[in-house]
Chain A
Amino acid sequence: EAGVAQSPRYKIIEKRQSVAFWCNPISGHATLYWYQQILGQGPKLLIQFQNNGVVDDSQLPKDRFSAERLKGVDSTLKIQPAKLEDSAVYLCASSRLAGAGTGELFFGEGSRLTVL
């Protein structure tokens, strides 16, 4: 079974520029998550999709971050304009179940963003 795929692995941009990250979850997984992991911290949930609907985006900075899940499969996370404090690893994860789930998430390798 193929794992969660993310791209790009690394991205360096200047502040105020825009960037987009792509995620392809494990086939058949109902729930998709985007987490932000700042160096030295644990992952922080940005947005959670169940199929192609948003179930939690309470910690997504909506003035600059947006995300969509196309046809309940792939997802993109966009930042526009980027700030210095957005430098982090953006982790995509998926889980098999919809609803409350079991907490068993499968993570991709992450996309490391550096904002200069």
Chain B
Amino acid sequence: GQQLNQSPQSMFIQEGEDVSMNCTSSSIFNTWLWYKQDPGEGPVLLIALYKAGELTSNGRLTAQFGTTRKDSFLNISASIPSDVGIYFCAGLSRSGNTGKLIFGQGTTLQVKP
């Protein structure tokens, strides 16, 4: 089946540092998304990318849809303690009139004040 591979699995950084994480797949996706999950909560959408090569920002977050449509990248600039959480990439796979959202295994981010 389709799988998304995220790296790194976990990161421990100092407040103020920039963070980069990525997601790769052997399958092509038409839409890439990035979600964040806080402890005890459900994932929340951060950024959605709909076109190959697209670069989109949301505050300190920037994400890119890879040109091969098989990968995506998320950057967080000037990290703050509330950035702590698990970041999931997700690919939307369309089949006929339905879409199926597949998640990566997550990147856990810890920020030291």
Contacts and interface: CB of A to CB of B under 8 A. Distances in A.
Interface of A: 4, 33, 35, 40-45, 48, 50, 55-56, 91, 93, 99-105, 107-110
Contacts of B102: 45
Contact of B31 (A41, A45, A103, A108): A103
Main secondary structure of the interface of B (DSSP, over half): strand
A45 B101 CA distance: 8
B21 interface: no
Given A42-B103, A44-B103, A45-B102, 9 more contacts: A42-B105, A91-B42, A99-B99, A102-B31, A102-B48, A103-B90, A104-B45, A108-B42, A110-B40
Contacts of A55: 98
B92 interface: yes
Interface of B: 4, 31, 33, 40-45, 48, 50, 88, 90, 92, 94, 97-106
A58 to B, nearest CB: 9
A100 B98 CA distance: 4
A44 B31 CA distance: 18
